[in-house]
Amino acid sequence: MKKLSFQTLRNVLTGLEEGLCYSQITQRTQTSKASVSRIAQAADQTGQSTKQLLALSDSEFVSLIYPPSPLARTEPDWASINTQLKRKNVTKRLLYERYFAQAGVTPYNYSSFCRCLAQWRLDNGLVSVGGNVERVPGQRMEIDFADDLLPWINGDGCIQHCKLFVAALPYSNMMFTEAFSNEKQPSWIAGIVDALEYFGAVPECLVMDNALALVNRDGWREGNAHPAIKSLCLYYGMEPWVCKPATPQQKSRVEAAVHAVERWIIAELTLDQPLVASDLQDVNEQVRKRLDAINGQPFRGRNCNSSRREIYEQQEKAHMRALPGMPYEPGEWRVLTVDKAHCVRIASEAGHRYSVPVTYIGKSVAVRIARNTVEIYDKDTHKVLGIHKRCTNVRGDKTHILREHLTPAEKHYRRTAENWVNTLVHKGLPRKLATEFVVRLKDNKGGFPSGRICGSVCGLFNTYPPSTICKAIGSALEDRVFRARYIKELCEQYQFALTTNRTLDLGDDRIRTSAPIMHKNLRGNYK
């Protein structure tokens, strides 16, 4: 069970004490129904009431809700391990093997050992994302754009300029760079994705500056990354971290990498004349050759002859996570307002509408339009509200509603054809007639409109007898008119003829009686 905070646990139990349902508690505490259910079961297993549990101290309360596991791991001496790692030629693997031999029955595995050590360092202030006090392998990737432009001559002989995206891993100094025509958000996202593919692994944290394409415009605060960047980091499992304004020392390694790119790539490729290339892809191929040479070149002024790539492959890559099966798919971000039907409309996508929870009516939401999906997020909390399959067809149904977004009334109208047949039979229609009616509706309209018509026909049973409705539906099937209003008018005519002992003769376009019906209040009928 994922452990929740003290306050969240108390809020859940308070809701249970008040007699709230799981949905209400979920909305109040922002937790899942499964978590609420597990907490309720854990509270019942303690044998104490919710009032008694709420009266306990935080430590006693948590120990009852989360009892210690009988398979608790043997904790190593993290302080001693951190001190020994500073010695020459002492590695984590060496210290782990000694710990494993002395741990006993339930030791950590190697990956958990490294993760817990990194967390201990972070908790004790030995590692700071912002201050770069100590370089930890696989912890962070810093990104930036080089200030100097790279001039190049295209096939037409025109001089163009491009910007170089730069990424760096502080521990091994492994670098990556790629040329783009601009410094807009799609270039940032493509550069991050290509950098991770180049490294072949994913670090724990993505460190960036305060570029407008990377952060929100509502003022700086730590972690105030743009929803597009948060979506990318969520896909790769990275933590986005935004540097304070005017503090380049918080991403010092990428600043050094930018200077290296400007000296060893831009200056060398354009020493005599601008770079000659057929297109931007050709530029990147030439840049990549220089990048591979720099990463493979041994360091100067060190006792060892190791290069950036060797240190990365031998010491750092093992501490990073594996890449997902597919690269991140960039998308277009928009801020749209939810309409009264709790949907957002994308005008450029043939006016297709995609649903959100009904509580967001009238609010603004963040919409990400990807290649195959339309993702909708809460603009403030970045909570996922719905993921729809993208549709761009001009024809067909343009309203796409997820089942979990339906209101009780909408679920009533969106029942299956078999459900509607059973409902009409229960109301008094013969099954054969009800089946033919629903099938004709489905063939004619399909889906949501037919549900509305069936619902309206079911409402007629409150006013008219089943025999009258059967006659009206039979006539509507013969006339091939499937409007609820038309069936209601037929019922009115049949009921009037029944009460006045008249017979009805149905025409092709309208309903008419065998004899004219005279009313005393008709104009010109007064004696």
| Domain covering 332-406, topology | OB fold (Dihydrolipoamide Acetyltransferase, E2P) (2.40.50)
Pairing of strands 343-346, 352-355: antiparallel
Instruction: Tell whether pTM > 0.85.
Output: no
Q: Pull the structure tokens for residue 117.
A: 């050590």
In order along its 527 residues, the chain shows pLDDT tens digits of 456 666 777 788 788 877 788 888 887 777 777 777 877 777 777 777 777 777 777 666 666 666 655 555 677 888 888 888 877 677 888 888 888 888 766 778 887 888 888 878 776 766 544 444 457 888 899 999 999 999 999 888 889 999 999 999 999 999 999 999 999 888 999 999 999 999 999 999 999 988 888 887 665 555 578 888 888 888 898 988 888 887 788 888 899 999 999 999 999 898 888 889 988 999 999 999 999 999 998 887 655 678 899 999 998 999 999 998 888 887 778 889 999 889 999 988 888 999 999 899 999 998 988 877 898 988 887 788 998 988 877 766 678 888 788 877 676 666 677 788 888 888 888 888 888 888 887 654 445 446 678 888 888 888 888 888 898 888 888 888 878 888 888 888 888 887 776 555 544 444 443 334 445 554 554 44
Closest CA to 319 of 198, 234, 199: 199
> 516 in the Ramachandran plot: left (φ > 0), alpha (ψ -120 to 50) or beta?
beta
- What are the residues whose beta carbons fall under 8 Å from the beta carbon of 90, sequence distance 6 or more? 84
> Do 389 and 356 form a contact (C-beta atoms < 8 A)?
no
Q: Do domains 140-319 and 332-406 have the same CATH topology?
A: no
Domain boundaries along the sequence of the chain: 6-65, 78-123, 140-319, 332-406, 411-513
Q: Exposed (0-12), middle (13-18) or buried (19+): which is 481, by Cβ within 10 Å?
A: middle
Q: How many CB atoms lie within 10 A of CB 24?
A: 13
Q: What is the C-alpha radius of gyration for the chain, rounded to an integer number of angstroms?
A: 34
Q: How many CB atoms lie within 10 A of CB 330?
A: 19
| Domain covering 140-319, topology | Nucleotidyltransferase; domain 5 (3.30.420)
> Do 374 and 388 form a contact (C-beta atoms < 8 A)?
yes
φ, ψ of residue 146 to 5 degrees: the values are -70, 145
Angle (CA) 223-229-232 rounded to 5° is 120
Cα(438)–Cα(420) distance, rounded to whole angstroms? 7
